[in-house]
């Protein structure tokens, strides 16, 4: 059983559409991070959220940390083909603890 469950596992949309991916857990995290991994490369850190209820925006990407710090979501507005990739969430249960990664959501944005 994964500590962090990501859904959906796979998402295929047309360019210009919006999408949301979710990261859920029964555990409380002191911080949660989102990464994007493109084929043939390592994951790249997009954002870190640390406060319950926090919302961070990165251009067309909006990240939200749940009030109870057990879940998070990533919303992409007007998706572009460059948004294609594997989106990973990762959480640390306490400061200084190693990260636990979710299974990832594979996003395909078609032109």
Which residues contact other proteins by CB under 8 A? 2, 30-31, 33, 35, 40-45, 48, 88, 90, 92, 94-99, 101-104
Local structure of 81: helix, strand or coil: helix
44 or 78: CB nearest other proteins? 44
Least separation in angstroms between CB 4 and other proteins: 9
Sign of CA dihedral 56, 62, 66, 72: negative
**Structure-block tokens of residue 85:** 């990739």
22 or 103: CB nearest other proteins? 103
Local structure of 46: helix, strand or coil: strand
Please give the Cα distance from 90 to 84 (Å, whole number). 19
44 or 68: CB nearest other proteins? 44
11 or 88: CB nearest other proteins? 88
Distance of CA 67 to the CA centre of its chain: 16
């Amino acid at each position: 059983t994964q500590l962090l469950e990501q859904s959906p596992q796979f998402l295929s949309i047309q360019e210009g559409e919006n999408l949301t991916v979710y990261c859920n857990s029964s555990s409380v995290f002191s911080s949660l991070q989102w990464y994007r991994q493109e084929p043939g490369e390592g994951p790249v850190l997009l954002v870190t959220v640390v406060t319950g209820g926090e919302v961070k925006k990165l251009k067309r990407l909006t990240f939200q940390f749940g009030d109870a710090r057990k879940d998070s979501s990533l919303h992409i507005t007007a998706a572009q083909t460059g948004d294609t990739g594997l989106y990973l969430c990762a959480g640390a249960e306490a400061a200084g603890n190693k990260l636990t990664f979710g299974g990832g959501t594979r996003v395909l944005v078609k032109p």
